[in-house]
């Protein structure tokens, strides 16, 4: 995997996260779970700017979203689902290592100790 490929994933991931965030922000049903997903999208968007392995962050992100959707019965319309599939393809590049040390139901995995995590 070359630097140019990593940069391409980073750009695609950031554009896709931005589009998904905007669509979720327009939804009328702003539940606590949906607000948490939006918080995590924003946090990963920021982390991708400096991350050496953006695919790992995207993998954790998509696993978190899928877990929250199942747990809180969140339905994603076709356009939002298509964006998550794009993110899922990028996240697959992380391989098995992206899944270790991650609690998919805990959004604190996206925040460092010095960052304030929003609570809803």
Domains annotated on the chain, with CATH: 3-110 (1.20.1440.140)
CA torsion, points 104, 92, 54, 20, in degrees to nearest 10?
A: -70
Looking at residue 96, what is its pLDDT? 61
Residues 6+ apart with CB under 8 A from 66: 84, 104
pLDDT band at 120; cut points 50, 70, 90: low
Q: Which pTM was predicted?
A: 0.85
Best CA proximity match to 79, nearest among 41, 14, 27, 37: 27
Looking at residue 51, what is its pLDDT? 87
Mean pLDDT calculated for residue range 25-48: 95
**115 pLDDT above the threshold of 90:** no
Query: Quick one: angle between helices 3-25 and 54-72, nearest 10?
Result: 30
C-beta separation of 44 from 110 below 8 A: yes
What is the distance between the alpha carbons of residues 2 and 115, in angstroms, rounded to a whole number?
31
């Amino acid at each position: 995997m070359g630097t140019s490929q990593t940069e391409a994933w980073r750009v695609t991931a950031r554009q896709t996260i931005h589009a998904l965030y905007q669509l979720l922000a327009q939804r009328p049903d702003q539940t606590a779970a949906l607000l948490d997903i939006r918080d995590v999208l924003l946090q990963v968007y920021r982390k991708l700017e400096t991350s050496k392995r953006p695919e790992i962050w995207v993998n954790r992100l998509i696993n978190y979203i899928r877990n929250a959707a199942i747990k809180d019965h969140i339905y994603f319309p076709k356009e939002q689902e298509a964006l998550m599939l794009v993110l899922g393809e990028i996240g697959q590049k992380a391989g098995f290592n992206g899944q270790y040390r991650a609690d998919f139901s805990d959004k604190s995995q996206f925040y460092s100790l010095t960052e304030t995590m929003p609570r809803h």
